[in-house]
Structure 1
Amino acid sequence: MLFYTKRQPFQPVICTNTLVFSAIFISLIIMFTNVFAIQTPFIRISLSFLPIVMCSILLGPLLGGIVAAIADVLGCMFFSPGLFFPGFTLSSFVSGMIYGYFLHNKKITLQRISLASVIVLLLVDLSLNTLWLSILYQKAGNLFLFGRVLKSLVLLPIQIGTIYAVSKPLLRYKLVRQQ
């Protein structure tokens, strides 16, 4: 077991392994979000969810959320100076928390992955991020919502399948513990 030591509940393990894996996940999130992505002002298609999910599975909800938020801030600093909006950082944190809550130290099933992905889709992508875009661009959220819903409906099965396929090696090599 790579990340497990005796500790109090909700107390993250801060050790060398945790710091190194957090840094790796931060760099992967930044790369998948800003370099390997198709982006318009209102819609982004990327695999940035994947390192957030894997980090949340391995390190837990709190560290998964913190890593996602740090990656958002650093990504804004390096790739889009002057365009930082704290709402998107909050959205990243909430995404990491949701994935960690549903998948960390629990049996990873297609149903759990689907439930976590749908909640992130509804709560974060369609609600919070649309709100942030409407605040940022001072336009009605309904203008953004149709394209975002369409993108989400197309990409949701791909996202669920990708998370399921990538999480299986973690289980096979016993990097995560299942209940």
Structure 2
Amino acid sequence: LGVVENAPTQVLKNAQSYILWDLLGNNRLMRMLENESVNGKKAFTVVELMDGLHRNIFATTERGALPDVMTRALQKNFVDALITAAAESEGVKINKKLMDNHFLLDHQTALCSCDEHAGKTLDADRMGAHRELNFYGSQINRVSDVISVKRGELLRIKELLQSRLSTSDIAIKYHYKDLILRINTALGVK
């Protein structure tokens, strides 16, 4: 195609998208939940993260003002990042048969932390089967608070947007309706 120019606004929108997807990734939020379970009130929680993001990204909408084009793009990016892991299929057990990667302990393929890495041989009679801890399997994602918090935030956004649909600005009204439809579709709401 030759040289392709990207408008500065496109570069900014892409950067925002990447940052939000990374920030709201399930693995990161799972680590935050683990930190919260270890450090209690001292930890920066997933709910605090979500609330801070919401208060900044939807500040204009919360005030009843009209978000500009860039703010609307940021709101869409935020909702899109939330939807990826909070969609209906993530929270529903689709298959009754648990696959190997759903189990916390995989007794067939991995090594215990006390094995060769520590310069010791594994005594199978004493230690049992080789195993690894997998904190990020799909079963764990499904039952963690990560999806609950993301869905809660999506519902919070939907409620806010519904309360602002009476705006006379057509572009803003379409933006709010579009986000509401995206949220409903992702959550399987009819």
Q: Which has the higher contact order (CA 8 A, sep 6+)?
A: 2
State the TM-score, normalized to the length of structure 2.
0.30
Considering only CA atoms, is the larger Rg found in Structure 1 or Structure 2?
Answer: 2
